[in-house]
Structure 1
Amino acid sequence: MSVTGFLIEDKEKVKWEDVFLDKGSRKRLDQLIKEFRYLDELKKYHLPVNNKILLHGCSGCGKTLTAKAIATQLNKPFYILDLCNFISSRIGDTAKNIRMIFDKVNRENAILFLDEFDHIGKMRGNDDKDVGEMRRLVNTVIQLIDGFSEKALLIAATNHIQILDVALVRRFQLKIHFEMPSDEELKSYYTFLLEQFPERIRVVPECFGISFAEARDSIYTLIKARLIHELEKDIV
């Protein structure tokens, strides 16, 4: 597989209002989006734009969806790089290959989404023979982040920020934490999901103490079952 074969351009459009964030996180990301919109004006005052975001926290709570929504808001090309598969492919060539990917994103003023960013941290301690190579990779990534174009945007996501190299974490100007949703947040989310369906099938059991992704899967499964039941009744 070529280097670009690991890089996926995702063209899905996600509305900003469809992303569930706490007020603090939404305010900080709203500011980032506005900074990009007024980038040229800010440059006149030699003010840097925050263009490196680290999304961290619980799985299924909206990190990828948030990244896609930011891309939609900014109308920029959105590339996803799954570091797990990318690093595992040919570790000896990874530093060179990731440099090529950063160069491509910088040229296009695009958004690069580094999924499973913690894989760098995990890999460093897994096998003694790979430690030297992984250290070189981390150094390369740090250099690439430092030299990242101010007109491009880097978004990294991890469920395990505690195992990341401290020097890497320090490079991100914004760190947005994703927690498991409260019962109140899930209640609002269920209302948001169900309002698109006819009233007759909206009354379904709602689960709590789960992630947004689990809640969506649960509701959609129940709605599909009710719709199929209605269709089968009509056939009979």
Structure 2
Amino acid sequence: MLNSKAEGDDEQFYSIALQIAASEARQGRRTSADALRKAVDAARSRLGAPVPIQFAQPRGDLEGLIELKEPRYILKDVVLDAQLRLRLDDVVKEQAKRDWLREHGKRPARRVLFVGPPGSGKTMTAEALAGQLKLPLFVIRLEALITRFMGETAAKLRLVFDETQKRRGVYLFDEFDAVGGKRNATNDVAEMRRVLNSFLQYMEEESVTDSLIVGATNHPELLDRALIRRFDTILSFQLPSDEEVKRVLLAGMRPLKHGRLSWTKVLEAAQGLSQAELSKAAEDAVKSAILDERDTITTDQLLRRLSERRSMQEAFKNPESR
């Protein structure tokens, strides 16, 4: 314990302190156990940096395979459905008090699957989870993970899961269906079946760090059912409601002012657009106002930007119509 403090490894120091608290609790000394836990919680809350300094960019075999991103958001920065926010708060609470759960033979939720349409906030929410937990966000680069050489993808996957055991963090597998597709899919090959079987095995392994593994997919119907059962919780993201549309657009238009907006027209124009598309429409309106030396955004200007985003969306839906 003293060595970890001398070496500046605060997380290890706190982990040992909580192990002592657990031992005290098992021996019936609840008062001292509670005092130790509260002291650790207070010390952790005083840490200023959202990401511990010892988490450096992965190197060696992991360089190019795992990308470190410093979280820019916490959960309050993401516009989320109330029920979805409650479930995310449960994940955060379990992770933040994981030592308490292990004291009673339970483990925190650490395998989470995000499903929903493109632009619905899945990637941003993974980043916000990392920010909320004051952990680094590690993004798995699928273009580096998946190769055409037999056995190489599974070997790289092993490296990733070994890293989750060494460095506590949030590990994001975006476009997760590329790894977790059904084993009986018509375009399946033996190598990808082996990769999926390896993934199933690695997901079941005990974790000493309780690193959070987040899979995100736009196509949950493509995922193998056995893989879905390995996740502790599955969270569904939807296109924003009218109230959420307002919140996204108002946040995106800051710090400029806006006139008396016709929300009926704006909401009609925003139908079917994702959070990402709404944010970009608001940002485009702000940039135009800045370049035109205006400090106010009008309904017509916002409608124009929403219409442009819808046109882009339609172009991708009907590429042959151009």
Q: Does TM-score exceed 0.5, indicating one fold?
A: yes
Q: Residue 219 of structure 1 aligns with which residue?
A: 282
- Name the residue aligned to 2:65: 6
Change (3 A) 1:126 1:186: same
- Please list the CA deviations of residues 150-172 of structure 1 after superposition, one character each: whole Å capped at 9, or x if unmatched: 52110000000011011111111
Conserved 8 A contact 2:65-2:145: yes
1:135 aligns with 2:193: yes
**Residue 176 (structure 1) aligns with:** 235
Residue deviations 1:45-100 (CA, integer Å, cap 9, x gap): 11221111000011001000000000011111210013255214645400011101
Q: CA deviation at 1:3?
A: 4.1
State the identity as a percent.
32
Q: Is 1:197 equivalent to 2:255 in the alignment?
A: yes
Aligned-residue offset at 1:119: 0.9
Please state whether the residue corresponding to 1:230 is helix, strand or coil: coil
In 2, Cα distance between equivalents of 1:48 and 1:56: 23
Deviates more, 1:24-33 or 1:74-83: 74-83
Gaps of 5+ in 2: 1-59, 295-322
CA shift in 2, pair 1:69/1:102, >3 Å? same
* CA positional deviation for 1:122: 4.9
- Describe the shift of the 1:104–1:9 C-alpha distance in structure 2 as closer, same or farther (beyond 3 A): same
Match of 1:42, SS?
helix
- The residue aligned with 1:63 is 122
Partner amino acid for 1:199? K
Counterpart secondary structure, 1:171: coil
Q: TM-score, normalized by length of structure 2?
A: 0.65
Q: Which has the higher contact order (CA 8 A, sep 6+)?
A: 1
Q: Which residue of 2 aligns with 1:111?
A: 170
Question: Which residue is 1:188 aligned to?
Answer: 247
Measure, in 2, the Cα distance between the counterparts of 1:95 and 1:3: 14
Question: Which residue pairs with 1:51 in the alignment?
Answer: 110
Select the structure of larger CA radius of gyration: 2
For the aligned residues, what is the CA RMSD? 2.4
Alignment of 1:117-156 (within 5 A): 117-122=176-181, 125=185, 127=187, 131-149=189-207, 151-156=210-215
More displaced, 171-180 or 182-191? 182-191
For the residue of structure 1 that corresponds to 2:107, the secondary structure is coil
